[in-house]
């Protein structure tokens, strides 16, 4: 992928695919950063070895980030002779913030499938079956989200991720009214976040 940003024609013989004289016709003047998403150690090491950035999502146990993912990124970078500190650490923050806490909790129900254990999602190809399974855990959906109706409480919910070294937070809200969320979050939280961690 990196070669496409700097070479006119790219030939590659890999384990999974082969390309001959492929090109990108409208290459940007600056290289496009390459990010690798990871939810486990192997992909996180790959991110450290080859990527400009590492991506994961919030809502899992903190030990996963602290003891598995971020150390694996650093290990991959060290194995490749790279500066692990130069690798962008991006995280999609699952946030349900509203002035009405009950509404913030209710908004998470649309993403109830996130509350299913991995083994209950593996191999499910029919979306109707996934919806059926998710309905069974809808009351637990909020557990994968940072739910709050208080800006100061919400800053404290974000703090552990920032302190672990995530330097690019992407906010994902579950509700139907995304415009209202963006306005509310932009007014109540973004100034506080910038002031706290910029």
CB neighbour list of residue 164: distance below 8 Å, 6 or more residues apart: 62, 65, 66, 70
Asked if residue 67 lies in contact with residue 102, where contact means CB atoms within 8 angstroms, the answer is no
Distance separating alpha carbons of residues 68 and 46, to the nearest angstrom:
13
Within a domain: residue 10?
yes
Confidence check: pLDDT of 5 > 90:
no
Within a domain: residue 128?
no
Within a domain: residue 18?
yes
Within a domain: residue 93?
no
Confidence check: pLDDT of 28 > 90:
no
Domain count, the chain: 1
Within a domain: residue 26?
yes
Closest CA to 152 of 103, 101, 188, 105: 188
Within a domain: residue 75?
no
Q: What is the pLDDT of residues 6-19, one digit of tens each?
A: 888 999 998 888 99
Q: What is the pLDDT of residues 40-71, one digit of tens each?
A: 999 999 999 999 999 999 999 999 999 999 99
| Domain, as residue range, for 17 | 1-32
Within a domain: residue 53?
no
Secondary structure letter of residue 53 according to DSSP: E
Within a domain: residue 167?
no
């Amino acid at each position: 992928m990196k070669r496409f940003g700097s070479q006119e024609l790219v030939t590659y013989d890999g384990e999974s695919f082969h390309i001959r004289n492929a090109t990108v016709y409208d290459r940007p003047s600056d290289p496009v950063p390459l990010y690798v998403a990871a939810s486990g150690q192997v992909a996180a090491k790959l991110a450290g070895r080859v990527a400009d950035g590492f991506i994961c999502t919030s809502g899992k146990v903190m030990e996963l980030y602290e003891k598995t993912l971020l150390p694996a990124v650093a290990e991959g970078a060290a194995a490749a002779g790279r500066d692990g500190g130069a690798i962008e650490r991006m995280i999609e923050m699952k946030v349900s913030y509203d002035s009405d806490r009950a509404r913030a909790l209710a908004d998470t129900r649309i993403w109830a499938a996130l509350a299913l254990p991995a083994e209950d999602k593996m191999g499910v190809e029919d979306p109707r079956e996934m919806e059926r399974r998710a309905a069974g855990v809808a009351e637990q959906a909020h557990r994968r989200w940072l739910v709050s109706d208080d800006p100061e409480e919400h800053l404290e919910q974000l703090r552990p991720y920032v302190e672990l070294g995530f330097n690019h937070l992407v906010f994902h809200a579950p509700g139907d009214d995304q415009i209202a969320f963006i306005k509310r979050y932009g007014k109540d939280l973004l100034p506080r976040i910038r002031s706290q961690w910029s």
